[in-house]
Structure 1
């Protein structure tokens, strides 16, 4: 009986050992498969990210595209108080000049008159009330900053002139049609509103479009990808039916010869 009992115990222990070994092997195989899946996902993630379509071929974040620093923080509402203040001041100026029809020169003159009158009265009254006169700071514009702004502006104007010259030479028909269409749209918008209103609209768009695009970036890029593909398809049809039948200019023929 004792031998039979010991035989049953050894048999039960061997059965338990086999079950535990199977569970251990299954766990190790599942963990190794999960690790291999993770490696595949991690190896494939860069290729997936590289294939994501971005508007205008953008590779940098929206904050870097806007130049970074404080201006980008204002446009992307990193500090809501500052952004709201800037937008509120711009709206107040637009209402003042456009709706109330207040003139810029008149506003500047009235502000100078009020400021000079207050400072003059304060300086003369300080001797009677035994208080120190106001400290008027010395304001001067640094020459380096003005030179940098003028240099950057000159560079942009020269670049625009080079682009216009290149378009007028008839080398790129696609760019020519794009510029003509853009100028035509601007002419229509200019007939609807004056320069101040147009500038204010652009200012409001800078404070709304970038932050909305950053919030819904993936959805906008997906829609833009489909729209770009459809535009390329329609342009290919237009090129085959219309543009390819237009006679080439003498400038292109001379270059090929």
Structure 2
């Protein structure tokens, strides 16, 4: 009898402990799954940080303002070039000639002043670009152009209608914007957007994602309501015709 009671007590204790351990685990699993679902509900379904999506290298550091001095200097240089060409109506040949004249004047003054000031003239610094400088630029530009062409052809041959329409709409929008302003202004707008929008999104990604998903949910609800309303109208017209 005692053995039976002890066995029953042991069985009951095991069942109680199993139930006690199981309840909090299921609760926390549900909570963690909900938190993960809310955490990964990012724009375009992304699950990686913005820095990783931008390449994760020095270019991503510049675009996300990891080093504020470098990012500010790059944006200032681009703005200066745009102001020179657009507001002051300079041309590339004019700027190149002015720069070469300035370099020649500096070298001329340096060489003559050093000859008068000392018996042994100091060596004038020479400006020389590396031989592979333009080769690297050409390789980089060619690789980016080929990657863009590959992406466009993959979209056109992939069979994804939604992605195809998005790319075609983007190209048509770029064509319309290009009709409003010249090519340099379009490049400058894209350059400024690339140096401002990613860092703003990274700082306020939760608010932006929630706002975008709210708009998408509202549009989806309205479209579903409109589709239901139109289906009712069509059914009513068909019934009326059948009755006649």
Q: Name the TM tier (shorter chain).
A: 0.5 to 0.7
Output the TM-score relative to the length of structure 1.
Answer: 0.64
- Other-structure match for 2:59: 71
Deviations along 1:90-111, one digit per CA (max 9) or x if unpaired, are: 2222111111111122111110
What is the rounded CA distance, in whole Å, between the counterparts of 1:73 and 1:150 in structure 2?
A: 20
Q: CA separation of 1:234/1:73 partners in 2, compared to 1, >3 Å: closer, same or farther? A: same
Deviations along 1:71-106, one digit per CA (max 9) or x if unpaired, are: 222222222232222222222221111111111221
- Other-structure match for 2:211: 223
Unpaired runs of 5+ residues, structure 2, are 1-19, 231-244
- Bigger drift between 89-98 and 122-131 goes to 122-131
- RMSD over equivalenced CA pairs, Å: 3.6
Q: CA separation of 1:66/1:235 partners in 2, compared to 1, >3 Å: closer, same or farther? A: farther
Kept in 1: contact 2:155–2:163 (CA 8 A) = no
Output the TM-score relative to the length of structure 2.
Answer: 0.67
- Other-structure match for 1:200: 188
- Bigger drift between 227-236 and 212-221 goes to 227-236
Q: How does 1:44-59 map to 2 (within 5 A)?
A: 44-45=31-32, 48-51=35-38, 52-59=40-47
- Other-structure match for 1:133: 123
Kept in 1: contact 2:156–2:164 (CA 8 A) = no
Shift of 1:69: 2.9
Q: How does 1:66-105 map to 2 (within 5 A)?
A: 66-105=54-93
Match of 1:142 among 93, 114, 132: 132
- Other-structure match for 2:12: none
Q: CA separation of 1:175/1:215 partners in 2, compared to 1, >3 Å: closer, same or farther? A: closer
What is the rounded CA distance, in whole Å, between the counterparts of 1:202 and 1:193 in structure 2?
A: 13
SS of alignment partner, residue 90 of structure 1: helix
Greater Cα radius of gyration, structure 1 or 2:
1
- Bigger drift between 40-49 and 181-190 goes to 40-49
State whether structure 2 residue 143 is matched by structure 1 residue 156.
no
Deviations along 1:169-201, one digit per CA (max 9) or x if unpaired, are: xx4543443333223322221222111111111
State whether structure 2 residue 199 is matched by structure 1 residue 211.
yes
Deviations along 1:91-134, one digit per CA (max 9) or x if unpaired, are: 22211111111112211111012112311332344232224222
- Other-structure match for 1:27: none
SS of alignment partner, residue 126 of structure 1: helix
Deviations along 1:5-35, one digit per CA (max 9) or x if unpaired, are: xxxxxxxxxxxxxxxxxxxxxxxxxxxx9xx
SS of alignment partner, residue 109 of structure 1: helix
Match of 1:166 among 157, 168, 173: 157
Unpaired runs of 5+ residues, structure 1, are 1-32, 242-257
Q: CA separation of 1:84/1:194 partners in 2, compared to 1, >3 Å: closer, same or farther? A: same
What is the rounded CA distance, in whole Å, between the counterparts of 2:142 and 2:169 in structure 1?
A: 30
Aligned residue pairs: how many?
204
Q: CA separation of 1:148/1:196 partners in 2, compared to 1, >3 Å: closer, same or farther? A: closer
